Structure 1
Amino acid sequence: MTYPSEADLLAQVPTQLFIGGEWVDGDGEPFAVNDPSTNTELVRIANASPEQGIAALDAAVAVQAEWAATAPRERGEILRRTFDLMMERRDELALIMTLEMGKPLAEAQGEVTYGSEFVRWFSEEAVRIHGRYGTQPEGTGRMIVTKHPVGPAFLITPWNFPLAMATRKIAPAIAAGCTSIVKPASLTPLTTLYFVKLLEEAGLPKGVVNVITTRNTGGVSSPIIADPRLRKLSFTGSTPVGIQLMNEANQHVLRTSMELGGNAPFVVFEDADLDAAVEGVIAAKFRNIGQACTAANRILVHQDVAEEFGRRVADRVNGFTIGRGTEEGVTIGPLVEDKAVDKVAELVDDAVANGATLVTGGKRVEGPGSFFEATVLSNVTDATKIFSEEIFGPVLPIITFADEDEAVRLANETEYGLVSYVFTQDFKRGQRMIDRLETGMMGLNVGVLSNAAAPFGGVKMSGIGREGGFEGIEEYLYTKYTLTPNPYA
């Protein structure tokens, strides 16, 4: 892999707003995007005003009808060309992500692969939007069922997976025939801006995708959501913010997709293959430095194997290397900002104060950057904050259980229901856990399960709707039923 110099690459990343196919300055004072490994400024980017948010909606509305009428094959070919450009520029995309978010380059390369697959998948789904035709049961007419783009969409993405979260919203919108306004997180907007530059190079018509970056998130977003011309809202982020956005979306009965918080249980039964379980939990917990809604949050281990499992995990964690993500061999990069470090430290301190044992790690790393040690806790109970709150950091808390019923109770003892992980060699038990765990996704003897061809999403307070898979494009389509007379009557 050949990475460009950081300065040369940053000079290629757009720093303006993208409205109606034009790169324009923001009305507000430009704001800094920082490198969390050094807490120094990378670049300053455009700060959109509420008026510019509406201008982006204007641009999307202006071309909605034309884009909806564009041939599905043409929409798909634009996405396919974008995928090819992403493969050509994968090193650039990976380095941008590492610079603005902190994840190690190897993980950033993995996200390029993952995020680009959404572009390729939906390039293929664009030509597979199906309806149906049939005779009414009474024989008095013919039913025609067709699918149509819902219309202009507002897509709000989080900071933790800046490429994948953008592609899995933007790509299905394009494939379905919807125009969009994209608002990336202010902490990590550069990857999205660079991706949209690739869409532009691939021939995406002006106004189909518009990007606004801003520090005034509520002030810019609320007028867009309140505008009756908007027909779709997709958000990935925290549950409290998602609830607020859903309340705003109710005003015009917007179609909504919400991928919200998680509190994933990782269940290890006494018959589990411990080598596989350790590999699985390392991947499920420490990928993205633990900053993922799918991260294993509560490690539920059968009491008969908890000690051995904890020892093996601690041995692996003690071999991690902390540092800037651009450095060779680094496995744990920085958290996204100092506030994230403060939150993780608070959860660890609370767990220890309530009887948990600190096996390894447990401290913030002094010096520049927002670093926290990879941490393992044992003897954690459900009385701690870390049991009920999303950690979003490199901390692995081990909770023991005695039998299957207790494991299920502990796993479901949360308002969240995004993903769960189960390790067992008992096939029947695995089947029962599919039925009993209250989550929208489950990994059975695997620690990473996200895939562009699979429906991603949760239940309970983890959200509504699905991204990816055949289901992902349906979020941007509405169904129309037409009745015609019996042609033989």
Structure 2
Amino acid sequence: MPTHPVIDSVPKQLRIGEGWEAAASGRTLAVDNPATGTVLCEVADAGPEDAARALAAAREAQQGWARTAPRARGEILRRAHEIILERAEDLALLMTLEMGKPLAEARGEVAYAAEFFRWFSEEAVRIDGGFATSPDGRNRHLVLRQPVGPCLLITPWNFPLAMGTRKIGPAVAAGCTMILKPAPQTPLSTLALTAILAEAGLPPGVLNTLTTSDAAAVVEPLLRGGGIRKLSFTGSTQVGRILLTQCADTVVRTSLELGGNAPFIVFDDADLDAAVDGLMVAKMRNMGEACTAANRVYVHAGVAEDFAARLTARMAALTVGDGTAPGTDVGPLIDAAGRDKVERLVRDAVGRGAKVLTGGEVPEGPGTFYPPTVLAQVPRDAELTGTEIFGPVAALFTFEDEDDVVRIANDTEWGLVSYVFTRDLDRALRVGERLETGMVGLNTGLVSNPAAPFGGVKQSGLGREGGRVGIDEFLEYKYLAIPYSS
């Protein structure tokens, strides 16, 4: 097994309470490099017994952590923010090795991840309440906001560092203890983040990290057992439905950031260069492996040919390769299953009449690579219209009528994000308000920002992360009625 200094520096055990521990079973989980197919290292593989110990540690620490001064909680996050930025190169390389994204993108994610800690370090001291006189004058109403309690945080593999900070940040700021379960494909970024928080002064038991290959065995007992009071999950809609059912047994407070099927709409008055730039961001960020990725690209028939030519030239010019190599634009997909899905969706679309303008063929050699691909004349019954592609494939459709494209864009069970490109301000606002998504990018392909509420509607999830409302997911309201006689 090859070694690398940045990997050697990361703990490989479970974080439970105040120490790093092996799994009770002694099992380990292999971490692969998707660019080469080689094993990077092995980490502890947690089971139900480890989950029970992590929950006990979180519950034991909860009361004392909730009483910690907001400023103290904020300063821990601020120190962690600074450490992340100091170690940006190592964290970026670690991320690239375990999940494949090019180093330039990984550096961007490190900066994005750190910003969540800075944002919520400031929000920690802004948790407010209220005091009022009842309408009849006989009572005073004192409203408090208190931490919801021990939380279970489940993060995905596509943004392993940022999704960790986006959940940990508000939980720490609110005064909640946590159990963090990362995706099995990318445990190293999470373990490195866990170590950074301990170094920044986070007390023992506040953050407990469980890496595991058997999520069901670890998660279900936690949710059904009554000790967890909050679940925050980012992942597929299919898994989200299962977790929501499990949360029902003990009425666990739940926030879910699930799948997407983002429409990207280009009107005939759009700045086509800006629209292509926006689509390159919305489609190719993280090799297309993002819930915010443009899945269905609707281009007005009057500009469709010109737009397709400009996009094809940009996509064909991208360099595919190992994310650690200089000049790489597109790294490997996360694993063989992910690549097989993309290949199947492209074949289905072509079989129904779609035209391949560039890409579309799996390259030879090691690694789970798929080339940047543009499909034109995609029929609306192609499977990819109703399935997250999660790969570097831009599927182009044409439209002629505003009402028609809005109807088609909304014809999906998902509602995370949509994108609209037009020079007409009235149209931008009108269409933006009509689209059934939690976020809309108007003449931009990037909507994610720590200072803005991230989340969707319909089957794209519940609740919001980031922004001023992100901490609300980890706080409960308590009302004290106080009799008063003047």
- TM above 0.5, one fold? yes
CA shift at 1:137, angstroms? 2.1
| 1:438-457 equivalences in 2 (<5 Å) | 438-457=436-455
- Which whole-Å CA distance do the structure 2 matches of 1:6 and 1:476 have between them? 39
Q: How far apart are the structure 1 equivalents of 2:433 and 2:335? A: 38
Counterpart of 2:16 in structure 1 is 19
CA contact (8 A) 2:3 2:40 kept: no
Q: Give the aligned partner of residue 227 of structure 2.
A: 229
Give the Cα–Cα distance (whole angstroms) in 2 for the partners of residues 29 and 87 of structure 1.
Answer: 33
* Aligned with 2:314 (options 296, 313, 316): 316
Q: How does 1:179-328 map to 2 (within 5 A)?
A: 179-328=177-326
Q: In structure 1, what is the equivalent of residue 81 of structure 2?
A: 83
- 1:66 alignment partner in structure 2: 64
Match of 1:158 among 156, 159, 172: 156
SS in structure 1 at match of 2:297: strand
**Rounded Cα–Cα distance in structure 1 between residues aligned with 2:380 and 2:18:** 52
- Post-superposition Cα deviations, 1:435-467, rounded to whole Å, max 9, x if no partner, equal 100000010000001000000000000000100
The answer on whether the counterparts of 1:268 and 1:423 sit within 8 Å (CA) in structure 2 is yes
Cα distance in structure 1, aligned partners of 2:204 and 2:190: 17
| 418-427 or 137-146, which deviates more | 137-146
The unaligned stretches of length 5 or more in structure 2 are none
In structure 2, distance between residues paired with 1:347 and 1:21: 47
Runs of at least 4 residues off by over 4 Å: none
Letter in 2 for 1:451: N
C-alpha displacement of 1:29: 1.9
CA deviation after TM superposition for structure 1 residue 152, in Å: 0.1
The residue number in structure 1 matching 2:130 is: 132
Give the C-alpha shift of residue 388 in structure 1: 0.8
Taking only aligned residues, the RMSD between alpha carbons, in angstroms, comes to 0.9
Task: Tell me the alpha carbon deviations over residues 66-107 of structure 1, each in whole angstroms, 9 at most, x when there is no partner.
Answer: 000000000000000000100110111100100001000000
How far does residue 487 in structure 1 lie from its aligned partner after superposition? Answer: 4.4
The CA distance in 2 between the partners of 1:248 and 1:451, in whole Å, is 31
Query: What is aligned with 2:377?
Result: 379
Report SS of the residue matched to 1:398.
strand
Aligned partner letter, 2:19: E
CA distance in 2, matches of 1:417, 1:10: 38
Letter in 2 for 1:213: T
Shift of 1:220: 1.1
Query: C-alpha separation between the residues in 2 aligned to 1:229 and 1:150?
Result: 12
Q: What TM-score do you get using the length of structure 1 for normalisation?
A: 0.98
After superposition, the Cα gap between the structure-2 partners of 1:6 and 1:111, relative to the gap in structure 1 and judged at 3 Å, is: farther
Q: Note the alpha carbon deviations across 1:349-385, whole angstroms, 9 max, x for none.
A: 0000111111100011211000001000001122000
Question: Which SS does the other structure have where 1:142 is aligned?
Answer: strand
Look up the SS of the partner of 1:145 in the other structure. strand
Which residue is 1:425 aligned to?
A: 423
**37 and 201 in structure 1: CA distance in 2 versus 1, 3 angstrom threshold:** same
Amino acid at match of 1:345: E
Structure 1 residue 430: deviation in Å? 0.8
Where does residue 365 of structure 1 map in the other structure? 363
CA contact (8 A) 1:382 1:388 kept: no
Matched with 2:173 is: 175
TM-score, normalised with respect to structure 2: 0.99
Letter in 2 for 1:250: A
Structure 2 distance, partners of 1:74, 1:6, is: 38
Q: Distance in 2 between matches of 1:28 and 1:239?
A: 32
For 1:144 and 1:96, locate their aligned partners in 2 and report how far apart those are by CA, in whole Å: 48
**Is the contact between residue 466 and residue 475 of structure 1 (CA under 8 Å) also seen in structure 2?**
yes
**1:168-213 CA-partner distances (Å, limit 9, x unpaired):** 0111111100000000000001001001100011111000000001
CA contact (8 A) 1:285 1:394 kept: yes
User: Is the contact made by 2:420 and 2:432 (CA closer than 8 Å) also made in structure 1?
Assistant: no
Question: Partners in 2 of 1:28 and 1:262 — Cα distance?
Answer: 38
C-alpha distance in structure 1 between counterparts of 2:60 and 2:86, whole Å: 32
Select the residue among 460, 468, 471 that pairs with 1:470: 468
Q: Deviations over 1:200-258 (max 9, x none)?
A: 11111000000001111101111111121210011110001000000000000000000
Measure, in 2, the Cα distance between the counterparts of 1:268 and 1:24: 53
C-alpha contact (below 8 Å) 1:121/1:452 kept by paired residues: yes
Superposition deviation, residue 296 in structure 1: 0.5
Residue range with higher mean Cα deviation, 177-186 or 219-228: 219-228
User: Which residue among 110, 116, 130 is the counterpart of 1:118?
Assistant: 116
Amino acid at match of 1:103: K
Asked whether 1:10 is paired with 2:4, we answer no
Which of 480, 483, 486 is residue 482 of structure 1 equivalent to? Answer: 480
2:265 corresponds to which letter in structure 1? Answer: V
1:461 to 455, 459, 462: 459
- In the alignment of these two chains, the number of paired residues is 484
Say if 2:142 and 2:480, in contact at 8 Å, map to a contact too: yes
Tell me the residue number matched to 1:104. 102
Instruction: Quote the sequence identity (%).
Output: 56
CA contact (8 A) 1:28 1:49 kept: no
Structure 1: unaligned runs, 5 residues or longer: none
User: Equivalent residue of 1:416, what SS?
Assistant: coil
> Any idea what SS the aligned residue of 1:171 has?
helix
8 Å contact from structure 1 (residues 157, 237) kept in 2: yes
